[in-house]
Amino acid sequence: MRRSKYNNVKTVVDGITFHSKKEAKHYADLKYAKIAGELEEFYMQVPFLLPGTVKYLLDFKEYWKGEKEPRYVEVKGFFTRESKIKIKIVEALYNIKIKII
């Protein structure tokens, strides 16, 4: 079996394949927060359209109780130059702040 380029380990939780253990853990944490009533809703792989028909998929969009605005969350273990640029473009075009964990 070939190693991943960034040493991430694909992980399956609830039949969903995540790019890394870290991303799968964040998903599990969100599920438990929703059950506990702390989180209203969350969405995964939220698309943002960029110039030139480029699509950026954000890992999570989270709606926490008591917060007016959603949290935009990207789970990264390693940043490429391309991912840094895309995040900056999304933040500028959509007037949002992406939290990196």
Least Cα distance to 74 among 94, 57, 51 occurs for 57
Per-residue confidence (pLDDT) for residue 18, from 0 to 100: 84
Higher pLDDT, 13 or 86: 86
pTM for this entry? 0.85
Q: Which residues of 32-66 are buried (b: 16+ CB within 10 A; e: fewer)?
A: ebbeeeebeebebeeebeeeeeeebebbbbbebee
pLDDT in tens, 77-95: 777 898 899 999 999 999 9
